[in-house]
């Protein structure tokens, strides 16, 4: 056994944490051959030689130590494999790592700093570093693997640019599961005054995830990453980057870029299932870069109208637009009046957007939004502005010059963008007219509400209907919250068709938002239907007190006159059938995610059949009754025709065909 191997084994026996390999100052270089396979390890990671599948090709890489399925997070020689077990890792006296196959150099580092007694160390973070032995600043590395990422971002690893030293921290995917060489895509920042996090295909923009706005990257409001981590974003003269650090210390998590449509995936290790669970992802959907052209916005939610023009704009080529070729974009209905001397132009606030491509932007972090507006108005090339940081009450200024490209529209969240329009534009005139209409509407509405209130007070003094008393008795016994009808009608905008998200056998389902901001789904049972009353009672009686993560939660109900309303937690991804029977959406569900959905449904059924206080048979289990939350976790819904049995009952009879 060579000197380095002996030192390595002794160091591992003496220390269970990070492992250092020190170079004998007398020797020109020390090395470890591939005969041992394992080079170094700590409590979390392993550095060693490995193969993929049945291939004889060998790579030097880092993977998780305690995870049974080998998960490689970094590969030194990803573009040039070693044939067989003739690999040899050398740490020479200059502090450089050299990987050889016999006497041929396969891979090496190039250190610019002066090395003194160099030490190779695998840190608990998964970072492989070379540092000077005895250096009072142990983090002053001569070289580190975190500066040369592959397809995986680990906690504490930077994605961005080192402007001082000319490094780019950018992820690139493996070409395939058995080929770690760099694929076509890459994930990192595009430099500008307001840097865009992006996915590139070669040198072409494929997807702009957006700039950091102080809370999130503009294209992904409410990202799942911030549930488990804090995101740190830094932009100064020396570097631009973001990292993430865990809120939960023990969690194992990683971001991976792939060659598939689900391009960037956030994985979390599920220890009980012994699998990597997809906790969130960024996909290459229909809203690829610039698909809607200038001043057109893309909306994933509306598959029939993927691209639409901003209000006040029309398609530049109506013929191309009607044939789903939107790249020419939109033009203003009325031209701007700016001539660098005088202008009647104004700015219109467009809400709920991902901001456009930031290539031609200018940022001033020290001025207010009002100052930003006046500065933009003076420059005829300035087409839009907004706060550079939207946290708190907003701060700073970012201005766009030239056409606005790559806008996206969100159903909720998103940012404000103030876009330059002609002062005589109908959008502005419409705004003035709307103020008059709104004032008149408020007065009329107030009168109607007053009449309704008087009627309601009188109605409440009347004797309740038999059906209302019948249902309310079950609600009282279940301790389920009772909602006021006015609260539900306000939350759903008076059961607006715009808020209708489904239609069941017992009535429509609406999306709503309570005064505190909580989103809800409201099932409105058909008026005067005995079936509706039966379903309402069944739902309340069976699931009001059930607590299991794979059962949809019933938040409360409203029983008032002819109205019988059930209020549930809102599932942002709708029902499973919308995914598996839709070719486009179906591509978003990989086999691992499908397995997790199946497993979740099975866990919910197991609870109903064996672990709840009553044995409950659903009797209408189908894809449309499996709802998916924001993380695609499944929840069984619609217990209207479910049947309960005693805890020791194993058989039951039915006199009619029912359900699915």
Question: What region, left, alpha or beta, does residue 320 occupy, with left being phi > 0 and alpha being psi -120 to 50 degrees?
Answer: alpha
Residue with the larger pLDDT of the pair 473 and 108 = 108
Extended beta strands in 192-305, E state: 196-201, 204-210, 229-235, 239-246, 253-257, 264-270, 275-282, 296-298
Tell the burial category of 98 from Cβ atoms under 10 Å away from its Cβ (0-12, 13-18, 19+): middle
pLDDT digits (tens, 9 = 90+) for 361-403: 999 999 999 999 999 999 999 999 999 999 888 999 999 999 9
- Say what the pLDDT of residue 450 is: 44
Reply yes or no on whether the pLDDT at 448 is more than 60.
Answer: no
431-543+555-568 has CATH 3.30.200.20 classification: yes
The reported pLDDT for the residue numbered 587 is 77
- Across the chain, mean pLDDT equals 81
Q: What is the DSSP letter of 180?
A: E
Among 7-11, 179-183, 546-550, where is mean pLDDT lowest? 7-11
Which residues are catalytic, by number?
620
pLDDT at 437 over 80: no
d(CA 552, CA 569): 7
Would you place residue 145 in the very low, low, confident or very high pLDDT band (cuts 50, 70, 90)? Answer: very high
Two tokens, residue 562: 């002819």
Is 86 a residue whose pLDDT tops 90? Answer: no
Residue 273 confidence class, pLDDT cut points 50, 70, 90: confident
CATH class entry, domain 1-148: mainly beta
**What integer is the mean pLDDT of 551-557?**
87
- Pairing between strand 174-176 and 346-354? unpaired
By the 8 A CB rule, do 434 and 442 touch? no
Tokens standing for 164? 């001082």
Nearest to 486 by CA among 446, 511, 452: 452
Residues 123, 44: Cα–Cα separation, whole Å: 9
Q: Encode 20-58: b = buried (16+ Cβ within 10 Å), e = exposed.
A: bbbbeeeeeebbbbbeeeebbbbebbbbbbbbbeeeebb
Is the predicted pLDDT of residue 160 greater than 90, yes or no? yes
Q: What is the pLDDT of residues 572-618, one digit of tens each?
A: 988 898 888 887 778 778 777 888 899 899 988 988 888 776 678 88
Lowest-confidence pick of 130-144, 382-396, 476-490, 536-550: 536-550
- pLDDT tens, 52-82? 988 899 999 999 998 998 999 999 999 999 9
What is the reported pLDDT for 366? 94
Q: What is the pLDDT at residue 21?
A: 41
Tens-digit pLDDT profile for residues 224-268: 445 567 889 999 999 999 998 877 667 889 999 998 878 899 898
Q: What percent of the chain has pLDDT over 70?
A: 76
**Would you kindly state where each structural domain of the chain is located, as residue ranges?**
1-148, 149-284, 296-424, 431-543+555-568
Residue 558: which pLDDT band, with cuts at 50, 70 and 90?
confident
pLDDT score of 40 more than 80: no
| pLDDT over 90 at 467, yes or no | no
Backbone phi, psi, residue 400, to 5° = -105, 135
């Amino acid at each position: 056994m060579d000197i380095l191997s002996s030192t390595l084994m002794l160091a591992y026996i003496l220390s269970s944490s990070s492992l250092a390999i020190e170079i004998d100052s007398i020797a020109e270089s020390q090395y470890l051959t591939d005969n041992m396979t394992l080079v170094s390890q700590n409590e979390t990671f392993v550095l060693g030689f490995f193969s993929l599948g049945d291939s004889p090709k060998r790579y030097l890489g880092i993977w998780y130590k305690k995870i049974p399925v080998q998960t490689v997070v970094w590969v030194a020689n990803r573009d040039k494999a070693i044939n067989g077990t003739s690999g040899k890792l050398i740490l020479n006296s200059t502090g450089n790592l050299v990987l050889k196959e016999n006497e041929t150099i396969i891979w090496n580092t190039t250190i610019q700093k002066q090395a003194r007694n160099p030490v190779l160390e695998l840190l608990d973070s998964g970072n492989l570093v070379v540092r000077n032995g005895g250096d009072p600043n142990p983090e002053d590395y001569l070289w580190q693997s975190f500066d040369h990422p592959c397809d995986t971002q680990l906690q504490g690893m930077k994605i961005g640019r080192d402007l001082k030293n000319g490094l780019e921290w950018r992820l690139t995917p493996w070409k395939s599961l058995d080929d770690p060489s760099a694929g076509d895509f890459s994930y990192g920042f595009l430099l500008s005054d307001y840097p865009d996090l992006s996915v590139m295909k070669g040198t072409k923009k494929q997807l702009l995830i957006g700039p950091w706005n102080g809370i999130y990257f503009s294209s992904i409001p409410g990202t799942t990453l911030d549930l488990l981590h804090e995101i740190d974003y830094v932009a100064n003269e020396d570097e631009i980057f973001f990292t993430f650090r865990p809120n939960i210390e023990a969690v194992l998590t990683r971001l991976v870029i792939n060659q598939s449509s689900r391009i960037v995936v956030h994985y979390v290790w599920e220890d009980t299932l012994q699998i990597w669970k997809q906790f969130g992802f960024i996909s290459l959907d229909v809203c690829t870069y610039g698909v809607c052209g200038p001043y057109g916005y893309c909306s994933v939610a509306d598959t029939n109208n993927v691209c639409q023009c901003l209000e006040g704009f029309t398609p530049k080529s109506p013929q191309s637009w009607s044939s789903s070729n939107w790249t020419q974009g939109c033009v203003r209905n009325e031209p701007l009046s700016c001539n660098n001397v005088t202008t009647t132009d104004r700015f219109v606030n467009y809400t709920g957007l991902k901001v456009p491509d930031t290539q031609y932007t200018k940022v001033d972090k020290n001025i207010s939004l009002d100052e930003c507006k006046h500065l933009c108005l003076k420059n005829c090339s300035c087409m839009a502005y907004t706060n550079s940081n939207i946290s708190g009450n907003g701060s700073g200024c970012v201005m766009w010059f030239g056409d606005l490209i790559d806008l996206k529209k969100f159903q909720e969240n998103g940012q404000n963008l103030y876009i330059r329009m002609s002062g005589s534009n109908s959008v502005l005139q419409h705004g003035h007219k709307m103020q008059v209409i709104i004032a008149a509407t408020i007065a009329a509405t107030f009168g109607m509400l007053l009449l309704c209130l008087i009627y309601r007070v009188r109605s409440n003094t009347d004797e309740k209907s038999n059906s209302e008393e019948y249902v309310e008795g079950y609600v009282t016994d279940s301790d389920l919250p009772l909602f006021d009808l006015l609260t539900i009608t306000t939350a759903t905008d008076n059961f607006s068709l715009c808020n209708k998200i489904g239609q069941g056998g017992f009535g429509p389902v609406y999306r709503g938002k309570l005064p505190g901001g909580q989103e809800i789904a409201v099932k409105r049972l058909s008026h005067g239907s005995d079936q509706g009353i039966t379903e309402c009672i069944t739902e309340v009686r069976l699931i009001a007190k059930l607590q299991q993560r794979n059962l949809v939660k019933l938040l409360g109900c409203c029983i008032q006159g002819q109205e019988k309303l059930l209020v549930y937690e809102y599932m942002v991804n709708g029902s499973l059938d919308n995914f598996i029977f839709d070719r486009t959406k179906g591509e978003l569900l990989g086999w691992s995610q499908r397995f997790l959905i199946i497993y979740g449904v099975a866990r919910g059924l197991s609870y109903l059949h064996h672990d709840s206080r009553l044995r409950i048979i659903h009797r209408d289990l189908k894809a449309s009754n499996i709802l998916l939350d924001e993380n695609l976790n499944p929840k069984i819904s619609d217990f209207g025709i479910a049947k309960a049995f005693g805890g020791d009952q194993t058989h039951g009879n039915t006199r009619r065909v029912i359900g699915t």
